[in-house]
Amino acid sequence: MKSFSLLLLPLLADAAVVGQRPEILYKRQLESLASQVVGKPLASTSKKTLKPELFAKTPQALREKVTWGPFKLTAANGTHSASGFVKLDKQSDMIGTLISGHCQECMVLSAEATIEDAKGTRLGLDHGIYVHHVISLDIGRAGVMPPAFAMGCNPLAGFNLSSMASGGGKAAGGHSHGMRRDTTVDEPKSSSPVAPKSTQPASSWASTLGSIFAPPKVSIFVGKGNEAQATLFAAPNTTVKSGYYIGKTDQIYASAEIVNYKTYDREVYLSLDYEYVPGNGKRPEGYMDVGMGAINIDACMNKFDLPDPPKNKSITYTSPDWYVMANGYLINLSPHMHDGAVNMKFFLNDKQVCKSDAIYGGDGGTVIDGKSWETITSYSLCKDPVRIRIGDKLKISSEYDLSRHRLRPMSKDHGMEAEAMALANFQFAIENGSLK
């Protein structure tokens, strides 16, 4: 998958259109998406009340698990849909629907989306299922502007929503659609930031970017890959209060891209397990809003140049500096890496603030053509919120070692391998009034 920055709402402006203001392009694409999200929401097939775990000590916290389905997956050797919202693998199937039955007027503290069978068992590689990604959008809630940008880049360049949705063709620079590229991607190197091509000061950039994220009101609720791990909108057991607020009239659109490695059709279900504070008719007080953000090793994120690690040795990819343009906290710093990755390190002003290791195995293991394949099922957590201020610098590094962990084989042609990837996801809790 290209990047969860493409989820940054999701997918930004079309670089093929020249001479257009990026905020106009961005709004048009989201408005086009919103026009496609119509019809009656799919009712849940089950709803269970559970005991809070991550936020057991939070007053008034509740927990629910809601399930929707069934959804059909085509056999690995069958004909798969050619399009869908953010379709990146030609051998995948897409889920896409409005859903109902989730909480409303609630402050969500954590949420985990999983693909399951009819009995509620999570489906992983041991069941012949690979979840490329799950994305859920909140239609009615404005997104929180991401706090950091690599200066010198057009942060909206290079994303082609129509190309992503079709699953065919190439976005700016070309995308492998799950296949490894024929050319070798050189290891990115840290360097001094280049001067912005625009002469606008940071405050003007912030103002322009802020206008992009105003209308229409659409934001990412949950965005995840194959790993079985909850998205945290708050840091447990700290004094930093934050959460994702779902309003009374907000609608949730759920989308997933799933690869079926079995040679027969399947039925699967989508579930959402979340902990929350009910609003009881009003928004819970004292909580900062959060929004999804990401830092990629490719600063400009507009070439779709994905890492192509060597087969026989370790390699570390390092991003350039990303500059902070708002005050607040980074919550739930977490990697999004593909199989072959070892770890990711996070830096604030060149000081390491967290290291997250890729965890393999569990239900994420199988055998393909006689060769063992284990996929990433989770990451070691970065539990503490990271305080950031305007002018700070953020950076990440990611280690890959294909001599220890193989890349994902494709479902139809096992000789082909999926791409590598390295970016850091986070929830950004923004202090009111810090970005003007």
Query: Are 90 and 263 spatial neighbours (Cβ–Cβ below 8 Å)?
Result: no
What confidence score (pLDDT) does residue 216 get?
A: 59
Distance CA 294, CA 243 (A): 18
If you average pLDDT over every residue of the chain, what do you get? 74
Q: What percentage of the chain reaches a pLDDT higher than 70?
A: 65
What confidence score (pLDDT) does residue 300 get?
A: 62
Low-confidence winner among 75-89, 121-135, 205-219, 323-337 (lowest mean pLDDT): 205-219
Angle, helices 202-212 vs 22-36, to 10°: value is 20
What confidence score (pLDDT) does residue 263 get?
A: 92
What confidence score (pLDDT) does residue 54 get?
A: 93
What confidence score (pLDDT) does residue 90 get?
A: 79
Banded model confidence at residue 23, pLDDT cuts 50, 70, 90: very low
User: For 67-74, what is the mean pLDDT?
Assistant: 96
pLDDT: which is higher, 42 or 25: 42
**pLDDT exceeds 90 at position 303:** no
**pLDDT exceeds 70 at position 329:** yes
Query: Are 331 and 385 spatial neighbours (Cβ–Cβ below 8 Å)?
Result: yes
Locate all alpha helices (DSSP H) within 316-428, ordered by sequence: none
- DSSP for 44-67, written as a single string: PSEEEEE--STTTTSTT-EEEEEE
**pLDDT exceeds 50 at position 189:** no
Count other C-beta atoms under 10 Å from residue 23's C-beta.
Answer: 18
Distance CA 335, CA 294 (A): 9
What confidence score (pLDDT) does residue 292 get?
A: 84
Give the dihedral sign, CA 170/175/180/181.
positive
User: For 140-145, what is the mean pLDDT?
Assistant: 82
The DSSP bridge partners found for residue 341 are 400
Q: In Å, what is the CA distance from 317 to each residue of 188, 345, 397?
A: 6, 10, 5
**pLDDT exceeds 70 at position 154:** no
The closest alpha carbon to 8, from 435, 414, 427, 417, belongs to 427
The secondary element (H helix, E strand) that includes residue 36 is helix 22-36
What confidence score (pLDDT) does residue 305 get?
A: 54
What confidence score (pLDDT) does residue 304 get?
A: 47
Distance CA 320, CA 152 (A): 11
Question: Which residue type sits at 297?
Answer: I
What confidence score (pLDDT) does residue 299 get?
A: 66
The closest alpha carbon to 137, from 280, 50, 7, 6, belongs to 7
Low-confidence winner among 118-122, 157-161, 334-338, 380-384 (lowest mean pLDDT): 157-161
φ/ψ of 72, rounded to 5, equals: -90, 135
pLDDT: which is higher, 36 or 166: 36
**pLDDT exceeds 60 at position 224:** yes
Q: What is the pTM of this model?
A: 0.72
Q: Locate the domains of the chain by residue range.
A: 22-430
Low-confidence winner among 100-109, 155-164, 385-394 (lowest mean pLDDT): 155-164
User: For 312-317, what is the mean pLDDT?
Assistant: 90
Q: What percentage of the chain reaches a pLDDT higher than 90?
A: 37
Distance CA 30, CA 119 (A): 36
pLDDT digits (tens, 9 = 90+) for 232-254: 999 988 889 999 999 999 999 99
What confidence score (pLDDT) does residue 278 get?
A: 96
Coarse DSSP helix, strand, coil percentages of the chain, rounded to the nearest 5 percent:
10, 40, 55
Judged by DSSP in three states, 326 sits in coil
